[in-house]
Amino acid sequence: MTVDAAFCPRCSAALPGPPPVSCAGCGYALFVNARPTGTVVIVVDDRYLSVLRARSPRAGRWELPGGFADGWEHPADAAVREAREELSVDIALREFVGMFIGEYEFQGERLPVLDCFWTADVVGGEIVLDPAESSDYAWLPIRDEPDLAFETMNQAIRALQTSLAARVIGK
């Protein structure tokens, strides 16, 4: 367990409390930091691409293509990589939509995540889903209130709705 660690990962001494905490035995400082993700909102006309989750958590719910950044990977690079892995397409990132703190259930823990979102265009290939990730896809109306698998995805779509509305007003 990392979120509720009871023992030091360096020396195995009992920790005096939950992270953030310093080990009394060796001085190791243990923190629980949000894990970064990179996610894309592929918009065509007034619709965005959503995929149906094939795995837990929240299997069977609609979501946006994306995933966790690897060790030293920038979330923007993770977004491009994840789109290629999940959709079999090449994308070009456009505008940064925002980043939102959320949670992800993994290995019996509720982990903090820092979800980063970009709009994107497909610039190569045809959509072919990775069946381990997604079982279907649909183009959902951007104007409708979202009900996606993760609240941060709903927040990103709402932020995009606000941005698009501001552009229309500003014309």
Go through the domains of the chain in sequence order and give each one's CATH number: 1-32 (no CATH), 35-170 (3.90.79.10)
105 Cβ contact partners less than 8 Å away, ≥ 6 residues apart:
56, 57, 111
**Pick from 145, 165, 168, 143: which is nearest to 155 by CA?**
145
pLDDT at 170: 58
pLDDT at 171: 56
**Pick from 120, 109, 105, 116: which is nearest to 61 by CA?**
105
Yes or no: say if 120 and 102 are a contact pair by the CB < 8 Å rule: no
pLDDT at 43: 96
**Pick from 135, 141, 143: which is nearest to 161 by CA?**
143
Q: Which amino acid is at 144?
A: D
Yes or no: say if 26 and 10 are a contact pair by the CB < 8 Å rule: yes
Yes or no: say if 63 and 51 are a contact pair by the CB < 8 Å rule: yes
CA distances from 47 to 29, 41, 42 (A): 46, 10, 8
- Regions of the chain short of the pLDDT cut 50: none
Residue 18: both structure tokens together: 């939950």
